[in-house]
């Protein structure tokens, strides 16, 4: 088989690199309620609280967090597979890129980018953002927000993703709880379009029954074998 592949990844693929997943048992994200840090309303109300939250995540990411075997396996698939492989991630970290993936669509934005609310342009961000941050393009100060898609905002790259799902022969979902739409609905789009569907997850998820095949286990341990299998298919 060498038809097109669409891969969707979530927080689970970065867990083995040391980045906590979102849905901990207490329902909080690293001690915060979602509506306090991940909505446009929160940013309007308390920009400093939201900036601090993402500044902490960014510092943590840049302090020695590395890609793991799961990221590297997906990069190998992209490099060696004879047809199109589109990697769509809900993750805001840069670990797919660090693992060697060339073509990554970040549908929920990127921690290492900011968007200037004055000129609308995106820029690289490696330090903290705050009221003094200056846009390198329009030079306005204090107008750069994290380039993260918050609840209530439209995910990025949706037309391109939907087109790829409609044309996919295999849809592979890795390390996502399947609780956040539209990503949670991708399996259905691909399945209806005739794609084979595989889920890789540590546990059963709310969406597991929608997949033709489920692979239980850690992404870093199961993906290298699965990728080998896909590359060796006739």
Mask: binding to ligand OAD, 136-165, rule CB under 6 A, as x and -?
A: -------------x----------------
* DSSP-assigned letter for residue 19: P
Distances (CA, A) of 72 to 150, 179, 209: 28, 26, 27
Shortest distance, CB of residue 214 to ligand OAD, whole angstroms?
A: 11
Distance CA 99, CA 84 (A): 18
| Nearest CA-CA partner of 164 in 76, 80, 79, 87 | 87
Residue 12 binding ligand OAD, by CB under 6 A:
yes
Kindly tell me which residue out of 179, 182, 193, 213 binds ligand OAD, with binding defined by CB under 6 A. Answer: 179
Query: Nearest to ligand OAD by Cβ — which residue?
Result: 12
Cα–Cα distance measured from residue 154 to residue 46, given in angstroms and rounded to the nearest whole number: 21
- Asked if 16 touches ligand OAD (CB under 6 A), the answer is yes
C-alpha 73/C-alpha 78 separation (Å) is 9
Has 71 been annotated as catalytic?
no
Indicate which single residue of 154, 203, 232, 233 sits in contact with ligand OAD (rule: CB under 6 A).
203
* Position 101 contacts ligand OAD (CB under 6 A): no
Please list the active-site residues.
108
């Amino acid at each position: 088989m060498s038809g097109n592949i669409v891969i969707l990844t979530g927080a689970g693929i970065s867990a083995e690199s040391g980045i906590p997943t979102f849905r901990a048992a207490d329902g909080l994200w690293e001690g915060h309620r979602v509506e306090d840090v991940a909505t446009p309303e929160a940013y309007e109300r308390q920009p400093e609280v939201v900036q601090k939250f993402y500044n902490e995540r960014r510092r943590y990411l840049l302090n020695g967090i590395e890609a793991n075997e799961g990221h590297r396996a997906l990069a190998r698939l992209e490099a060696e597979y004879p047809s199109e492989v589109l990697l769509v991630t809900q993750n805001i970290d840069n670990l797919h890129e660090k693992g060697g993936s060339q073509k990554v669509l970040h549908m929920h934005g990127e921690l290492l980018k900011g968007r200037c609310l004055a000129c609308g342009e995106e820029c690289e961000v490696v330090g903290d953002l705050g009221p003094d941050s200056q846009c390198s393009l329009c030079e306005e100060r204090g107008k750069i927000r994290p380039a993260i898609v918050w609840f209530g905002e439209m995910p990025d790259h949706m037309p391109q993703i939907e087109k790829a799902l409609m044309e996919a022969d295999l849809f592979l979902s890795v390390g996502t709880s399947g609780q956040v739409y539209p990503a949670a609905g991708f399996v259905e789009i691909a399945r209806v379009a005739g794609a084979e569907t595989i889920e890789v997850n540590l546990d059963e998820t709310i969406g597991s029954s929608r997949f033709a095949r489920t692979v239980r286990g850690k992404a870093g341990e199961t993906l290298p074998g699965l990728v080998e299998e896909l590359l060796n298919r006739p």
